Structure 1
């Protein structure tokens, strides 16, 4: 039996994740039919996360 081609490849997933990270998206969902959904993150939530990350990067000696 021959195998059917994949609907979504590993390269597609990696590309979607990189794009989501670049635009600050909240989540990446891959549907069974091969559709890739990038969900935006609310502005308030994004600001809060960015502040937390900035606080973690601060080094106090």
Structure 2
């Protein structure tokens, strides 16, 4: 799939048409957003589960 994207981007374009590397950082951050959100959610669930277990032990 990556090979097709590269070929589609490079094929038939005017010479000098390149991807602005200054945009790469934002692209990577945006692409990683679902993973960061899932990790934050899982961390909250782990704390909530730990609190629940602690309460059950004290009862």
TM-score, scaled relative to structure 2: 0.37
Structure having the higher strand fraction is 1
Question: Max radius of gyration: which structure?
Answer: 2
TM-score, scaled relative to structure 1: 0.36
* Structure number with higher relative contact order (C-alpha < 8 Å, ≥ 6 residues apart): 1
